[in-house]
Amino acid sequence: MSAVFDTLSRFYSSSIGKKILVALTGIILVAFILGHMIGNLLVFAGPEAINEYGHMLQTSLHGAGVWIARIGLLVAVVIHVVATIQLTVANRAARKEAYGKQKFQVSSTASRTMIWSGLTILAFIIYHLMHFTVRVGNEYNNPALYSYDLNGHSVHNVYKMVIDGFSWWPASVFYVIAMVLLCSHLGHGVASIFQTLGLTTHRTWPLIKKAGMAFALLILVGNCSIPIAILVFGYGR
């Protein structure tokens, strides 16, 4: 056990080890983002479709499935964020040493921008979980207001919750801003995954970068279409 721990510790302490962990956890998070968007878009298929989807998630593995997924995603997010921060700090230190004060100042400005955007995304994730998952400060847990008859069974009315949630303009605006920041990260991050894992060549790299940007645009349009449709065009109200 000690030998295994020492090996893992040496792997994580190396720059390449951290980069590989960032890439692998990035794959998990990208897959979740895509799946989450597809599930959310079921709101356009009507109440039955998205409520059946929500009920399936809540009852998977007798209710344990959703918690396994949440814990796994939490671990992936923590590893991804911590390893990325450590790599960024190490890179900044290396640039300062190699290029001097002027180059470091330019890098520091970009770094401060990334920190603020990262904090905005983190704040959004916390708010989004509190809003729709923990359901703090609202009545989404009230069965008298948010229940739906699905094939003779009373289930949580996810459709009404989404419509009501995005009918409040601050929630919709914050969501759109967070999606813009997230997709800015995805535009570079998706391509970087392939590069880190050695799946690119000089010839394929331009195509992979374009594919990463296309994926980010897909996520941006898909996710933002929901609050825009509800808030601007009155969908579902």
Residue 119: give the domain boundaries.
2-231
199 backbone dihedrals φ, ψ, rounded to 5°: -105, 15
Tell me, what's the pLDDT at 186? Answer: 86
Domain assignment present for residue 97? The answer is yes
Exposure string for 71-95, b = 16+ CB within 10 A, e = fewer: eeeeebbebbeebbeeeeeeeeeee
Asked if residue 139 belongs to a domain, the reply is yes
Band of residue 77 on the pLDDT scale cut at 50, 70, 90: confident
Query: Checking DSSP bridges between strand 153-156 and strand 147-150, what pairing results, if any?
Result: antiparallel
Query: Whats the size of the chain, residue-wise?
Result: 237
Assess if residue 236 is contained within a domain. Answer: no
Query: Is the predicted pLDDT of residue 185 greater than 60, yes or no?
Result: yes
The least confident of 80-89, 161-170, 201-210 is 80-89
Asked, for residue 237, whether it belongs to a domain, the answer is: no
**Number of domains making up the chain:** 1
